[in-house]
Chain A
Amino acid sequence: MTPTVRFKTVSKRYGAATAVDAVSFEIEPATLVTLLGPSGCGKTTTLRLIAGLEHASDGRIEIDGRDVTHLAASERDVSMVFQSYALFPHMNVLENVCYGLRASGRRRAEAEAMAREKLGLVGLAGFEARLPSELSGGQQQRVAVARAIVLEPKVLLFDEPLSNLDARLRRRVREEIRGLQQQLGLTVVYVTHDQEEALAVSDRIIVMNGGRIAQDGPPRALYERPASRFIADFIGNANLAEVSVARLDAGRVEVALGATRLVLADTEAVAGPALLAIRPTAIGWGEALVGQVAKAAYLGSHMEYEIAVPGVPEPLFAIVHDVAHPRAIGASVAIGFDVSGLALVPRD
């Protein structure tokens, strides 16, 4: 099957600065792929390269098998939901949604019928005559989505669509976007800097750092098998500890962390020094190591601790769901590990 979007060693330079550095990837039809990374990593530039709002300095971009590298945005079969929504303030909701259809040469009556259908789909039937300024943020966002999907584009692009919504609304809107994508079989490229949001909505995540792809894979693979220190830190906020690895057999290794030995299922790691990523939730009360509580915070549903352990340079950050028996700062505690929350990361 032809991938809907294909990047072949695409670079984008602004003068001496390189925003996107020889990036290659493919996006399969009817999937939701997230571009994730810290600010300045090149994810938004990559999205804008797909849209045609920026033009590649090098490389080749294909949409549905067609070379679009030098095509203007208006000539590409993509549409985009902007971070600011970019609704035209002087047009009402219906005119906004019709805009792309009219520009593509559809007749007014036909365009309005299609627009009304999509407005119904996003739950805004009856709002046709409102101006954008008369809508709430969430409603504006739905108009922006309706305006983009009514063109039935090959690719639908989202640029941080949730960043202007309050925290409560975010979860709901992100579920709606994912629902719509699956219901209509849309190919979506979604940019965010929020790893939780990325994990929640994506079929696949492309993590970018410094203009390059740091890791590319399904959410679970990224979380459970981070390919680098950067990924382990960025996704899931893992503790990273220097360890030494000894291979037990083909499927298991023994890891020396401070004074304890942990046995992990792993087929790839080689014997010698390595990094161990320890998820905060994988640390609990047990008897593997003894340490001292350096910081403690009560967050209602759980406790957050920093625990200093002899032999481990950085204090370990732990999320413990037992809020009934909090440990005081300075208290001596014994901790254990849930090995499913541990992963070996190559040292880089």
Chain B
Amino acid sequence: MRIWAGLLWAAVLLLPWYGFEHLTWSAAMPLVAQVLAGRWWLAPLVAAPLLASTKRPGLWIGAAVIGLGWLAVEGLAIIHHGWGFSALAAFGPGPSQPALGWGALVYATACLAVAAYGLAARGWLRGDVFVAGSLLLVVGAIVLFVAVPVGTILLSAIRDNDGRVALGEFADKITDPSIWGLACLGGERACGVAWNSLELAIIVGVLSTLLGLAFALIAQRTRFPLPGLLRLLSLLPVITPPFVIGLALILMFGRAGFITNFLYAHFDIPRSRWLYGMEGVAIAQVLAFAPIAFLVLLGVLQGVAPSLEEAASTLRAGRWRIFRTVTWPLIRPGLANAFLIGFIESLADFGNPLMLAGNFNVLATDIFFAVVGAAHDQGRAAVLALVLLVFTLGAFLAQQRWVGGRNYTSVSGKGDSGIPAKLPPVLHGVCLAVVLPWLVLTVVVYGIIMAGGFVDSIGRDNSFTWKYFLTAFSIERGVGGWFLSGSAWSSFLTTMELSVVAMPLTAAIGLLTAWLIGRQRFRGRAAFEFLTMMSFAVPGTVIGVSYILAFNVPPVELTGTATILVIAFVFRNMPVGIRAGLASLAQVDRSLDEASATLRARSFRTLRLVLAPILRPAVVAAMVYSFVRAITSVSAVIFLTTAEYNLSTVYIVGRAEIGEHGIALVYSAVLIVVMALALVAIRALVGEQKIGRRSAMVNS
């Protein structure tokens, strides 16, 4: 507690109150000096360190409430060009202040900690300071970096361009025919962008689920000769930047694609732009998301106890009847789950529509063009983002409410020595007929991605060349020694650096949240869980727009910094950490925590000495996935990158858009190899678990 009171004093007496990067002397003065320099409204903030230095827990809570409350009020009321609320204009032009800095950050964090001590001393969470502090920290972070930005979207959507609340205008904007128009039913013009997105998402959801099911049935129920290939296939989407598949499809089926050329030359099939539109986007998305459905459904199929199917067969049921009456009903919730995941992914996907959509508008890209395009209409972007958010949240809620509660997984902890039923022959044939061509397509697509950057012009001139690789990644010897002269190095190194910085932060906050949800009991836990899980469903494009809207002006001004990219990575990918953590925690019997508690260990000690070592694989997995997802993400960060902090994916998209496919492919191939190496290295590092975990889990 003394440490935190000390930090509060440091925040007001020593640290620069305003600014993070590129500090100026006037901004860098600590809070007390700012007050003396005429910023009188900061004076009440000194109350927090004063109250925190007393010995009364009640006053500590007061310190935090006053500190954080006043920080928010004055921060929103007084911004860099005067009053922040138009209602305050009555008081004259008003003072101004720049965006908050290190001092304010430390101040707010210390306030949370002081509040945790105060609440714990009053018996909240059974007096456990660590749990109280973690909870406040996670909630505070999620509110600041997820809830507030998303809320800002709502506010921008209902305001006109001068910042006044204009519900009439909002009603017009949200019902605009460009969003909801149904003209295409009459066969005339294009439909509204919302319908386009929904139609695409439903098609992609259904197709990727069916494909995933076919793959899962082949992998789990037949003696498919190449099980390794299927495993590899399931890993690929994790390490593939999302738009790369679209790029490869263009090189195959585009107007000048090599398959188009081949068909034209030998079969007189005319060139066309059929790929650019819903068909192309759908193919690319199904290629990208079917492996996710495969993983989900493989797990579901493995969860069907073979003994149930054996029981059915001893009850005189044939293979079809078993599949129809036992297997299918048991996997139905899994199918719904896979559909909804594909549906949400398709809605949120940004890269493939950007490459392939042509005149077929979808929400994710329209939002982008509303912000960066000629119109530069942030209001429209906010409205579109709102519609997209409602769709994804709706699907997410459906998944939680409807599918979440119906888990038919029938394998218990006890061994089930049965053998899964064989597939009905017809079904087997259908699955193979679907899976084999798809496998070929996938192999060709990845072949193009990996090799396309090393040939002169794929399909036309297939001679090997290093020129694209050298343009992007050459290292030359110059005057001052070796230097990185390739055009890709800057964005590549920034990406690696920021991904590595974000990696431990993402894993830490994700696993901490998982631990709070999975292992602690407190009032409002269900609401807390819902809040964190909801961030699963916020599409990257929406996060990107919301960060621009929320963090472009004081009190929290972060656009143009590397910090905002790291924050975007952390809060975009945190759900992965939460999922990994929850899944692993579910494997660890709760009696281990309880044993630790009855042996005098408090929660932090239990977390450090008991859970962390057991969960090490989950920690590592969360770090790897956070790293890989940071590298492959494009939708959120494309709004936030700058010339100084450019990222690989954004660079590649830029190259691809101006037709420099060679560099785009070679760069993608390098990224995929780097991420694959990271995955392999981690697998080798974690390796097989030596700990026999079963012993502690008998009867769990």
Contacts and interface: CB of A to CB of B under 8 A. Distances in A.
Interface of A: 51-53, 55, 70-76, 78-80, 82-90, 99-100, 103-104, 131-135, 137, 140, 147-148, 151, 157, 163-164
B692 A89 contact: yes
Given A90-B614, A103-B599, A147-B599, A82 B591 contact: yes
A83 B591 contact: yes
A6 B436 CA distance: 71
Interface string B122-139: 010011100000000000
Contacts, number: 112
A203 to B, nearest CB: 23
B609 A99 contact: yes
Given A70-B123, A90-B691, A84 B696 contact: yes
A81 to B, nearest CB: 9
A104 B596 CA distance: 12
A89 B614 contact: yes
A53 B613 CA distance: 23
A85 B693 CA distance: 12
- Closest A-B pairs by Cβ, 7 of them: A133-B692, A100-B599, A86-B595, A73-B597, A86-B591, A103-B601, A103-B600
A237 B589 CA distance: 35
Given A84-B697, A100-B601, A103-B605, 5 more contacts: A72-B602, A74-B601, A76-B598, A89-B696, A135-B695
Contacts of A131: 691-692
Contacts of A75: 127
Main secondary structure on B side of the interface with A: helix
17 contacts: A51-B594, A52-B598, A71-B126, A73-B597, A73-B598, A78-B598, A84-B698, A85-B695, A87-B595, A88-B614, A89-B692, A89-B693, A89-B696, A99-B596, A103-B602, A133-B693, A135-B695
A164 B698 contact: yes
Interface string B580-606: 000000000101101111111110010
A245 B599 CA distance: 55
Contacts of B417: none
Most-contacted residue by chain B among A53, A73, A89, A132 (CB, 10 A): A89
B698 A132 contact: no
A76 B600 CA distance: 8
Given A51-B598, A86-B592, A70 B696 contact: no
A134 to B, nearest CB: 8
A55 B596 CA distance: 17
A206 B594 CA distance: 24
Interface of B: 123, 126-128, 589, 591-592, 594-602, 605, 609-610, 613-614, 691-700
A176 B83 CA distance: 77
A133 to B, nearest CB: 3
Given A133-B691, A133-B694, A83 B699 contact: yes
Contacts of A135: 695
A148 B691 CA distance: 22
Most-contacted residue by chain B among A53, A71, A79 (CB, 10 A): A53
Nearest to A100: B599
Contacts of B597: 52-53, 72-74
B599 A151 contact: yes
A72 B597 CA distance: 8
A86 B128 CA distance: 22
Contacts of A133: 691-695
Contacts of B698: 84-85, 137, 164
B259 to A, nearest CB: 54
A84 B591 contact: yes
Contact of B692 (A55, A100, A132): A132
